[in-house]
Amino acid sequence: MNQQLAYKLLAGFLVLTMVGSVFAYLFIGERDDTTQETQTPENNLQKYDPDLWVVNEPFYSISDALSMTPVGTVSANFIDLDNMPVQMIQYVRQSDQLIREVDSLYKSNTTKMFYARLHDGENQSENNSFLLLSTMSIPKNDFEYMVEPGTSILIRQENEYNGLYNILGTPIIFAPPQTAVNVLEIIYGQNKTNTSYDQYEGLLSKVKPVSYQLINSNVTFAKQFYLGIGLVNGSYERTTAYLDIDSGILKKLNQSRVNSTERGIEQYTVNQSGNYTTVKIVSRELLTVLSEETS
């Protein structure tokens, strides 16, 4: 990945969302076993029905979100707008199309978002699924849905989301039916030991939670890759972590460290522990940490 491409991806916070958007999975057939009439909100009560908000499993990091995600995550990102500095919020709001789509999905302002691209089988190119977890500043159920009988599961009725499950609460769950059910099984204790966190636990143990995080196991330069950006003591800190990093990439990162101060970097450290490599870059300028190569 060259520097120009890395800058474009990171600055727009689109590293993962460009690969597989939630909204690529739009058409799932209508269910024949659901007979309740479509709810079309027309008043304030219908726009917010507290009885529908049933999930209570707050998430504050990518680790928290992966801990309620079914196994098989190929890539995922986490955005916490509540705890981002203003400059980072501006980048997300202006450059990340997925954030804008989630705002539109619920007609509210997204405050936290986790999006994971999943595969259900051994072949990653088959049976692809997704999971979107989010929170909003003004709770709403201002969309067309039917309620699965005997549950609080909402089945979206708009053409572009037809048949996808929405389960409201903290977080809001939006996913294809089986993925959504699997998340509920994890949250309510029926499958807690079988999650995507187990897959990335070693990598995530090398880093600390920040307001922007991503993981990816579908890269060419390592078995697993992590990137996190946050504001620490008035400076922007970017941490990248690698499982079994390519030796050529490690050499290039060490070379980049040599003259890093000339590029406005206050701190550039490369640490290795077993098969894991972590690289920390610190600068007072967000653009500086965004433009540094990761591979």
Going from the N-terminus, what domains does the chain have, and what CATH number goes with each? Answer: 24-192 (no CATH), 219-291 (3.30.1360.40)
Query: Under 8 Å CB-to-CB from 84, ≥6 apart: which residues?
Result: 92, 211, 212, 231
- Phi and psi torsions of 277, nearest 5°: -125, 130
Q: In angstroms, rounded to a whole number, what is the distance separating the alpha carbons of residues 113 and 293? A: 25
pLDDT along the chain (295 residues), means of 10: 36 34 36 47 66 95 97 96 93 85 94 92 61 94 94 95 96 96 90 86 97 96 97 95 97 94 95 97 94 93
| Distances 142 to 42, 93, 109, 139, 199 between C-alpha atoms, Å | 8, 22, 13, 9, 36
| Residue in 216, 228, 205 with CA at minimum distance from that of residue 279 | 228
Task: Convert 141-154 to b/e letters by CB count within 10 Å (16 or more is b).
Answer: bbbbbbbbeeebbb
| pLDDT number for residue 91 | 82
| pLDDT number for residue 120 | 63
Q: In angstroms, rounded to a whole number, what is the distance separating the alpha carbons of residues 226 and 65? A: 15
